[in-house]
Amino acid sequence: MAALEQPLALPVSTTFEIANRTISEHIGPAFGIIAWSAGTAAGLKSFGRQFKRGEMTEFTDVLAEAREITLQRLVAHAQALGADAIVGLRFDSNTMGESAGLVEILALGTAVKLAPTTP
């Protein structure tokens, strides 16, 4: 999987701490969400492979892009709340409606303030 196209503006961790930093305040939940369509082109391009075993790279690329956007939205929400970092990062995804071509991706975590560092 490719690295993020844009660096994150805040430290983000899947654990409930930020390495070498002390959390001084838990602000609360922050999230980023997107409803994303794979698009007709990806669907048509992969149609013949649906009946075989293996990765559908067109869909993998589309979902990776949606996940990055969702992560950037999470960071923006945490910044709007006044956070210095996000801990407990998690992702969730669900298909929407009858169509498997539309997916909801949610990034969520806890927005926190970090104690000042001492020299």
Does residue 12 form part of some domain? no
Domain housing 105? 23-114
Does residue 3 form part of some domain? no
Residue 28 sits in a domain of what CATH number? Answer: 3.30.110.70
Does residue 94 form part of some domain? yes
The predicted-structure confidence for 50-73, as pLDDT tens digits, reads as follows: 556 666 777 788 888 889 999 999
Does residue 38 form part of some domain? yes
**pTM of the complete model:** 0.79
10 Å CB burial of residue 106 (0-12, 13-18, 19+) is middle
Does residue 48 form part of some domain? yes
Domain count, the chain: 1
For 65, the token pair is 């892009």
Of the pLDDT bands very low, low, confident and very high (cuts 50, 70, 90), residue 46 is very low
